[in-house]
Amino acid sequence: MDVKYVNPFIVGMQNIFNMLNMTSIQRTGLAKREKLKTDNEVNIIIGLVGDLKGNVVISLPDSTARNIASTMMGGMPVPELDMMPKSALCELTNMVAGSSMSQLEQMGVAVNITPPMLINGRNMMTMISQVETLVISFNCNEGKLEMNIATE
Amino acid sequence: MSTVQIGPFVAATVSVFKDMLDTDIVKGQPEAEGDSFVSRGFTVLVGLTGGWEGWFLLDMSQETACTFAGAMTGEDYESVENEEVLYAGAEIANIISGNAITVVNNAQPGLNIRLAPPSVFAGQGMSMFNARLSSSSVLMQSNAGPVKINVAAREGK
């Protein structure tokens, strides 16, 4: 994956988190993904088709997922990840992907995105694409989260 | 809408399992799924864009996935921690969805559905949630265990 395509994703993430009043978001790392196992219970995936072809997954622990959903719903407590918080997280991912795509478009890269799908479970192994996957880690007051990007 | 969408995927699943894995599949009836799909432990997801926007899901147990991977490579797999099992599952779903959308695109020129690369999720107690998509499933039986396919999509631009 070309390095110049990474920044639009980071900017997209930061834009949307700032817009949703989660201004504490900070990028904490950037690495190649080396294992298939993930400790994160919640994964939201969006597919990319067009000049870039691949998948983007926002992956986060259950606690971060509930905290973010709570912030998005005006501070309402979220004791359990049921339909409403799941919808909120799907919408968040959709907005992040949308913002990232418009950054890419300014670079002349046209990409279509699929609707989001949220997968949650325990002891998960995930293979986002057969190609190399990049992991961008973030930290915010709501907790830790990461963005996995795999493009062919 | 959703039961119409799943038809070509059912036909493609039956023929791919027959041709690639020499496995006969007994197909069931399409049923509406709602917003949450409960996984048997091993799910391959293929994204759709263009005329249909959404996801194709191929779901089975981890044991079934190991059996099919073994049928493809000739080796024995004991767990999905072997990444070849994940690659095999991804490949099967990729071929099924490729065949299915070719049929749909040929029948309806201008629809222009395109596929994202497959991704694989394996784990315990997994469920897939979609926001506002029309979702339907068909449960099928093979000699290696049940296989379920799901199409969750909406009409795109």
* Confidence category of residue A36, pLDDT binned at 50, 70, 90: confident
User: What is the tally of helices (H) and strands (E) in chain B?
Assistant: 3, 8
User: Do residues A57 and A128 touch, judged by C-beta distance below 8 A?
Assistant: yes
Mean pLDDT of B7-26: 95
Residue B70, pLDDT above cutoff 90: yes
Of B116, B133, B154, the CB nearest to A48: B116
Q: Is A39 left (phi over 0), alpha (psi -120 to 50) or beta?
A: alpha
Inter-chain contact B152–A117, Cβ cutoff 8 Å?
Answer: yes
pLDDT at B95: 97
CA distance B1 to B111: 15
CA distance B66 to B68: 6
- For residue A22, which phi and psi values (nearest 5 degrees)? -115, 65
User: Do residues B76 and B70 touch, judged by C-beta distance below 8 A?
Assistant: yes
Inter-chain contact A121–B125, Cβ cutoff 8 Å?
Answer: yes
Mean pLDDT of B64-83: 95
Three-state secondary structure call for residue B102: helix
Inter-chain contact B129–A117, Cβ cutoff 8 Å?
Answer: yes
CA distance A75 to B86: 39
In terms of Cβ atoms closer than 10 Å to its own Cβ (0-12, 13-18, 19+), residue A16 is buried
Looking at residue B40, its amino acid is R
pLDDT at A55: 95
pLDDT at B1: 56
User: Do residues A148 and A138 touch, judged by C-beta distance below 8 A?
Assistant: no
- Chain B closest-CA separation from residue A128 CA (Å): 4
* ipTM at complex level: 0.94
Which of B67, B72, B88 is closest to B21 using CA atoms? Answer: B72
Question: Which run of H or E residues covers position B69?
Answer: helix B62-73
Of B39, B120, B129, the CB nearest to A86: B129
* Tens digit of each residue's pLDDT (9 = 90 or more) over B48-61: 999 999 999 999 99
CB < 8 Å to A117, chain B: 45, 55, 128-130, 152
CA distance B90 to A46: 16
Mean pLDDT of chain A: 94
Inter-chain contact A49–B50, Cβ cutoff 8 Å?
Answer: yes
